[in-house]
């Protein structure tokens, strides 16, 4: 009769590396918390994606630390408890070690992702250019800046810090001795009219110089972008030597210089029309051409 085999513990030694415990803890945490998607090469150079774990094994006991990524709208204390329970259970079952402690650290919150089929946000409003009042405001600001500099200069002259003649005193003396004159009526009316026009321009609807692009969200193209697109479309034609474009509401004018190839204008017009078809209310395309002068 064969002798009974000695217990497994007496036949060899089992060593579990800390990295093994780390991988088990990370997989356990990933089943509960949000797993960070793989990023670019530069993101991966910064370290392992979440969840990340550390482990310290001493004899048959282990302490684990886990950094996780919290899902949107999830209670973090509840998440930490669930991660702690999952890590303790899986590390204990797979390694046979006694898990003394599991520290959970929330490093980031996952970005919000709308559910499939969700309605997109309302489209952005069409951008507007600054009104006329901006230019007038710049002029008024420069005027006040000049008056402030003149006042500082006069104060330094009065205090004998610098030498020179004061600038504002003659102006104030002239205004103080001013008497009613016939020219004051039209000048006053002009000043009042200018003030009224500036007030109205500040309240008036600002000009909209961008063109609307057909899209589910608010997408707009500036006139400069439309002009560049028109030039790029025109110069892609083999018979076009040079091109320029000018965009205005409802129309785009393209001026090309050709080598005389027949049909260039029609082909350029078709190309530009196709490139600008995504604009809401496609503009009218007008193409003018001149032939490149032949050197003598």
Q: Tens digits of per-residue pLDDT, 12-65?
A: 777 888 899 999 999 999 888 877 655 444 344 545 678 889 999 888 899 999
**Whether 28 and 96 share a structural domain:** yes
**Whether 31 and 67 share a structural domain:** yes
Query: Does 196 reside within a domain?
Result: no
**Whether 25 and 100 share a structural domain:** yes
Cβ atoms within 10 Å, residue 64? 28
**Whether 219 and 267 share a structural domain:** yes
Q: Which domain holds residue 223?
A: 210-291
Cβ atoms within 10 Å, residue 90? 17
Query: Does 243 reside within a domain?
Result: yes
Angle (nearest 5°) at CA 175 between 173 and 178 = 110
Task: Please determine, for residue 183, whether its predicted confidence score (pLDDT) is greater than 50.
Answer: yes
* pLDDT tens, residue by residue, 118-161: 666 665 666 665 656 666 677 777 777 787 888 788 788 778 88
Angle (nearest 5°) at CA 282 between 279 and 284 = 140
- Single residue among 109, 140, 160 that ends a domain in this structure: 109
**Least confident among 43-52, 98-107, 163-172, 283-292:** 43-52
Q: Which helix (H) or strand (E) segment is 95 a member of?
A: helix 76-95
Instruction: Yes or no: say if 285 and 274 are a contact pair by the CB < 8 Å rule.
Output: no
* Residue 143 to residue 136: CA distance in whole angstroms: 11
Query: Does 266 reside within a domain?
Result: yes
**Whether 68 and 96 share a structural domain:** yes
* Residue 255 to residue 267: CA distance in whole angstroms: 13
**Whether 27 and 82 share a structural domain:** yes
Name the phi and psi angles at 246, rounded to 5.
Answer: -140, 120
Q: Characterize the bridge pairing of strands 61-70 and 52-58.
A: antiparallel
Cis peptide before 114 (omega within 30 of 0): no
- What pLDDT does 46 receive? 47
**Whether 30 and 92 share a structural domain:** yes
**Whether 105 and 138 share a structural domain:** no
Domains identified in the chain, total number: 3
Question: 274: domain CATH number?
Answer: 3.30.70.1350
**Average pLDDT for 205-232:** 74
**Whether 105 and 133 share a structural domain:** no
Three-class secondary structure of residue 46 per DSSP = coil
**Whether 167 and 251 share a structural domain:** no
Query: Does 145 reside within a domain?
Result: yes
Query: Does 23 reside within a domain?
Result: yes
Query: Does 66 reside within a domain?
Result: yes
**Whether 41 and 84 share a structural domain:** yes
**Whether 135 and 101 share a structural domain:** no
For residue 289, which of 261, 267, 266, 258 has the smallest C-alpha distance? 258
- What pLDDT does 3 receive? 60
Query: Does 123 reside within a domain?
Result: no
Mean pLDDT rounded to a whole number for the chain: 77
Query: Does 93 reside within a domain?
Result: yes
* pLDDT tens, residue by residue, 88-125: 999 999 998 999 999 999 988 877 676 677 666 665 66
Angle (nearest 5°) at CA 271 between 277 and 254 = 95
């Amino acid at each position: 009769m064969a002798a009974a085999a000695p217990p497994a513990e007496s036949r060899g030694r089992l060593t579990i590396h800390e990295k093994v415990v780390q991988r088990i803890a990370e997989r356990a945490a990933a089943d509960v918390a949000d797993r960070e998607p793989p990023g670019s090469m530069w993101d991966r150079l910064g370290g392992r994606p979440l969840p990340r774990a550390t482990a310290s094994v001493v004899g048959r006991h282990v302490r684990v630390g886990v950094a996780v990524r919290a899902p949107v709208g999830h209670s973090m204390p509840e998440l930490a408890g669930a991660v702690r329970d999952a890590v303790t259970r899986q590390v204990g079952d797979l390694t046979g070690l006694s898990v003394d402690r599991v520290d959970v650290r929330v490093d980031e919150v996952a970005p919000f992702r709308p559910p499939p089929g969700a309605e997109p946000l309302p489209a952005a409003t069409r951008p507007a250019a600054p009104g006329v009042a901006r230019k007038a405001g710049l002029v008024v600001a420069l005027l006040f800046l000049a008056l402030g500099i003149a006042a500082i200069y006069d104060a330094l002259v009065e205090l004998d810090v610098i030498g020179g003649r004061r600038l504002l005193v003659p102006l104030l003396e002239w205004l103080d001795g001013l008497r009613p004159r016939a020219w004051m009526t039209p000048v006053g009316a002009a000043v009042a009219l200018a003030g009224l026009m500036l007030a109205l321009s500040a309240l008036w609807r600002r000009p909209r110089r961008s063109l609307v692009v057909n899209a589910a969200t608010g997408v707009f193209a500036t006139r400069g972008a439309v002009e560049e697109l028109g030039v790029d479309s025109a110069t892609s034609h083999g018979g076009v030597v040079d091109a320029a474009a000018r965009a205005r509401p409802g129309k785009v004018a393209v001026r090309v210089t050709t080598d005389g190839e027949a049909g260039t204008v029609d082909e350029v017009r078709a190309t530009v029309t196709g490139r600008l078809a995504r604009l809401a209310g496609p503009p009218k395309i007008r193409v003018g051409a001149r032939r490149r002068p032949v050197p003598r």
